[in-house]
Amino acid sequence: SQKIEQNSEALNIQEGKTATLTCNYTNYSPAYLQWYRQDPGRGPVFLLLIRENEKEKRKERLKVTFDTTLKQSLFHITASQPADSATYLCALVFGNEKLTFGTGTRLTIIP
Amino acid sequence: DTAVSQTPKYLVTQMGNDKSIKCEQNLGHDTMYWYKQDSKKFLKIMFSYNNKELIINETVPNRFSPKSPDKAHLNLHINSLELGDSAVYFCASSPRLAGGNEQYFGPGTRLTVT
């Protein structure tokens, strides 16, 4: 069965540095890959979507890459700020149109 | 002007009881979902509805019954609650069923079964 792993359960990054989060999957590649942010006690919030035929997507300080050969997506936050501290979830969409979420990475930006 | 709303936010009940969670979206979306997030924060889809029609029904016990009276509402009724049902339940919506659409999540309902 398909497995989705986000590399770290928790990641601490110094303010101003680039935070890089990893999402790895097994078996076949998804049609789409999405990234969400979740703050404690709240629902996930959509950040970015990348299609299987796209290599990279950017939105302000966020960048997502998608490598179907490595079966990996990287999520970058440049010039990180304490307000970026949250749990980040990757989610894959396969043929049946449902989102399958990864385990999440709890990111803490240290001032 | 809340996009996806859920009630109640907290629900504490005893084993064996029946309870319902309500969800409403004012985004005009066609598709709505129920997710369960367990104590380890793993988020898993339970059901999806598209224009009031059940599309996805994961291997969820039949004690869980979703109902969509119209495409803006998706309620979740749970019979004979068990300890293992304790979790946070999220409702979500998306413009269409296709996976290229982002999903909008509600604030969650924390269910505690004692």
Q: Which residue has the higher pLDDT, B48 or A7?
A: B48
Asked if A58 contacts A35 with a C-beta cutoff of 8 angstroms, the reply is no
pLDDT at B111 over 90: yes
Environment class of B106 (CB within 10 Å of its CB; exposed 0-12, middle 13-18, buried 19+): buried
Asked if A29 has any chain B CB less than 8 Å from its own CB, the reply is: no
Mean per-residue pLDDT of chain B: 93
Pick from A34, A51, A98: which is nearest to B102 by CB? A34
Q: How many residues comprise chain B?
A: 114
Classify A85 as helix, strand or coil: coil
The Cα–Cα gap between B45 and A18 comes to 31
Asked if A35 contacts A64 with a C-beta cutoff of 8 angstroms, the reply is yes
The Cα–Cα gap between A83 and A104 comes to 18
Instruction: Please write the tens of the pLDDT for every residue from A17-42.
Output: 999 999 999 887 888 999 999 999 99
Q: Where are the beta strands (DSSP E) in chain B?
A: 4-7, 10-13, 19-25, 31-37, 43-50, 53-57, 64-70, 73-78, 87-94, 104-105, 109-113
Counting residues of chain B whose pLDDT is more than 90, the rounded percentage is 81
CATH topology of domain B4-98+106-113: Immunoglobulin-like (2.60.40)
- pLDDT tens digits, chain A, 111 residues: what are they? 678 899 778 999 999 999 999 999 988 788 899 999 999 999 999 999 999 899 999 999 999 999 999 999 999 999 999 999 999 999 998 776 788 999 899 999 999
Instruction: Please write the tens of the pLDDT for every residue from B50-106.
Output: 988 998 888 789 999 999 999 999 999 999 999 999 999 999 999 988 778 899 999
**In the prediction, which pLDDT does A96 show?**
64
Residue of chain A with shortest Cα separation from B99:
A97
pLDDT at B1 over 70: no
Pick from B58, B97, B107: which is nearest to A43 by CB? B107
**In the prediction, which pLDDT does A2 show?**
74
Distance from CA of B79 to the nearest CA of A (A): 25
Asked if A94 has any chain B CB less than 8 Å from its own CB, the reply is: yes
Strand partners, B89: B36, B109
Distance from CA of A49 to the nearest CA of B (A): 7
Asked if B54 contacts B66 with a C-beta cutoff of 8 angstroms, the reply is yes
Every domain of chain B and the residues it spans: 4-98+106-113
Pick from A41, A42, A97: which is nearest to B99 by CB? A97
CATH topology of domain A4-110: Immunoglobulin-like (2.60.40)
